[in-house]
Amino acid sequence: MRAFVFDEYKQSLHEAEVPEPTVGDRDVLVRVTATSVNQLDERIRQGGFKAILPYKTPLILGHDVAGTVIRVGSRVRGFNAGDRVFARPRDHRIGTFAERISIDEADLAPLPGRLSPVEAASLPLVALTAWQALVERGNVKPGQKVLIHAGAGGVGTVAIQLAKHLGAHVATTVSGKGADFARELGADEVVDYRTQDFEAELSGYDFVLDSLGGENLAKSLRILKTGGKAVGIAGPPDPAFAKEKGLNPILRAAIAALSWKIRRQAKKLRVSYEFVWMHANGDQLRRIAALVDDGALRPVVGATFRFDQTPQALDALAKGGRRGKVGRKVGKAFVERLKERATDRDKPISTTAFRTQLKAIQKFGRSAPSDLSVITQPTLIANGDNDRMVPSALSADLHQRINGSELIIYPDSGHGGIFQYWEKFAPAAAKFLAA
């Protein structure tokens, strides 16, 4: 199968043919529809975590996935072939930058019904990180004051929404241009880190989620009230983490030394510091999915890339400056089998009408989404719900009822719903893409 790997640490990603994944008794084989790139992918590629995550090379990167179950192991009871799922595979079993991946059943959850695969794939790692920091470690309660650093980033966008759902008063740090965006997510106070010092602006906080480390973490401790807690996801790791990972005595001593200064400062201030290393957890993902379906949490996708653009997606992440996550959609031939021809309630758009839509989009500056870049024989073309890259309820329902179908979300496609004339559409799309 096709995958993106790096052969040695610090080398670039490249496409390669790799063996099919093995499926154990408790494993689920998933066809990858979408994935996303994370800072963790880049840190691993650069060799930053070799001491605690000693991966062998060549290595397939990728920590998030949304896709469809192909088959399940003999002892799997919670999933069946055809189920739509999403996950953050556990450490040492990553590899979502591929066409297929085998995942432990315990790491999987059903895909939220209101999300596209790209949106769903942007969530697992960052949402689990936010959950484990705020709920597991922080035990955030209604009325508490919570500071989320880097509120426009992948973890930050989710953490703001989650903290508000928990009933907290939320402050965040962003650049000036991200202030309105942070408020839209629910932030009560917004500090522009470029022009303001959050230590001078904030005080008496119960909890801080720090994703930057260094002096930013030290200052975060000083805005906590007595008994408050700071959770760091950028380090330094603490002795509890070293013990949890079962590291050897030399590494344990080194990690204790790395965090000694910040732990001593926390003790003097009568606050606490903990380091969180996110772990895979399908049960928590189910709870996160419920928040999504209830409208309490929405993903933020900063950009999308085709499967063959995976290295560029990782480069875009490394350069920074984007809101939310960078998603990567797997391109493949559509229509494995079509057992049912269905149409939307309204008249499907014709090939001519579709060309008109493309021209209008070009004229007014909207680019065609990456989903269209490798179309050969699409089964479904769905209009975006409320002009967003989310399928309408009808389209999502039809997609689930048509075995082997793929759902392409195309904003402003009118009431296309099911593209009835896909045989005519394929050459038209190919001609457009070639141009």
3-class SS letters over 305-350: EEHHHHHHHHHHHHHCCCCCEEEEECCCCCCCCCCCCCCCCCCCCC
User: Within a domain: residue 316?
Assistant: no
In a shared domain, residues 150 and 206: yes
For residue 396, pLDDT beyond 80? no
Last residue of a domain, one of 263, 294, 325: 294
Give me the helices (H) in 58-134, please.
117-121, 124-131
| Percentage, residues of the chain above pLDDT 70 | 74
User: Within a domain: residue 352?
Assistant: no
State the total domains in the chain. Answer: 3
Q: What is the CA radius of gyration of the chain?
A: 23
Euclidean distance between CA atoms 411 and 428, whole angstroms: 18
For residue 262, pLDDT beyond 60? yes
Give the DSSP H/E element, type plus range, for residue 205.
strand 205-210
In a shared domain, residues 386 and 274: no
For residue 397, pLDDT beyond 70? no
Q: Lowest mean pLDDT: which of 52-66, 111-125, 293-307, 391-405?
A: 391-405
Which of the two residues, 254 and 20, has the higher pLDDT score? 20
Grouping H, G, I as helix, E, B as strand and the rest as coil, residue 124 is helix
User: Within a domain: residue 314?
Assistant: no
Number of Cβ within 10 Å of residue 297's Cβ equals 22
In a shared domain, residues 93 and 161: no
Amino acid at 234: A
- Domain residue limits at 379: 369-434
Q: Which residues lie closer than 8 Å to 397 by C-beta, 6 or more apart? A: none
Q: What are phi and psi of 367, to 5 degrees?
A: -90, 150
User: Within a domain: residue 343?
Assistant: no
| Percentage, residues of the chain above pLDDT 90 | 62
In a shared domain, residues 92 and 162: no
Grouping H, G, I as helix, E, B as strand and the rest as coil, residue 3 is strand
pLDDT of residue 406: 53
User: Within a domain: residue 117?
Assistant: no
In a shared domain, residues 207 and 284: yes
Q: Lowest mean pLDDT: which of 35-39, 89-93, 333-337?
A: 333-337
Number of Cβ within 10 Å of residue 177's Cβ equals 12
For residue 414, pLDDT beyond 50? no
In a shared domain, residues 97 and 242: no
Last residue of a domain, one of 111, 137, 152: 111
In a shared domain, residues 83 and 152: no
User: Within a domain: residue 357?
Assistant: no
Q: 15-23: long-range contacts at Cβ-Cβ below 8 A with a sequence spacing of 24 or more?
A: 15/308, 15/310, 16/58, 18/60, 18/98, 20/100, 21/95, 21/98, 21/100, 21/101, 21/102, 22/102, 23/71, 23/72, 23/73, 23/102
pLDDT of residue 334: 27
pLDDT of residue 411: 41
Q: What are phi and psi of 178, to 5 degrees?
A: -95, 5
Dihedral (Cα; 398, 403, 406, 409), 10-degree rounding: 10
In a shared domain, residues 284 and 197: yes
Q: 208-212: long-range contacts at Cβ-Cβ below 8 A with a sequence spacing of 24 or more?
A: 208/146, 208/147, 208/149, 209/130, 209/133, 209/134, 209/138, 209/146, 209/147, 209/148, 209/149, 209/155, 209/159, 209/233, 210/149, 210/234, 211/149, 211/150, 211/153, 211/155, 211/156, 212/149, 212/150
For residue 66, pLDDT beyond 80? yes
In a shared domain, residues 159 and 269: yes
**Residue 390 DSSP code:** S
429: tokens are: 């799309």
User: Within a domain: residue 98?
Assistant: yes
Which of the two residues, 168 and 331, has the higher pLDDT score? 168
pLDDT of residue 385: 41
Mean pLDDT taken over the chain: 81
In a shared domain, residues 263 and 207: yes
Strands (E), 125-174: 145-148, 169-174
Euclidean distance between CA atoms 433 and 130, whole angstroms: 39
- Mean pLDDT is highest, among 161-175, 308-322, 358-372, for 161-175
Q: How far does CA 102 lie from the centroid of its chain?
A: 18
**Residue 253 DSSP code:** H
- Residue closest to 417 by CA, chosen among 331, 335, 347, 340: 347
Grouping H, G, I as helix, E, B as strand and the rest as coil, residue 57 is coil
Q: What are phi and psi of 394, to 5 degrees?
A: -65, -45
Grouping H, G, I as helix, E, B as strand and the rest as coil, residue 243 is helix
N-terminal to C-terminal alpha carbon distance within the chain: 29
In a shared domain, residues 140 and 76: no
In a shared domain, residues 106 and 129: no
For the residues 73-91, what does the mean pLDDT come to?
97
Euclidean distance between CA atoms 340 and 401, whole angstroms: 8
User: Within a domain: residue 220?
Assistant: yes
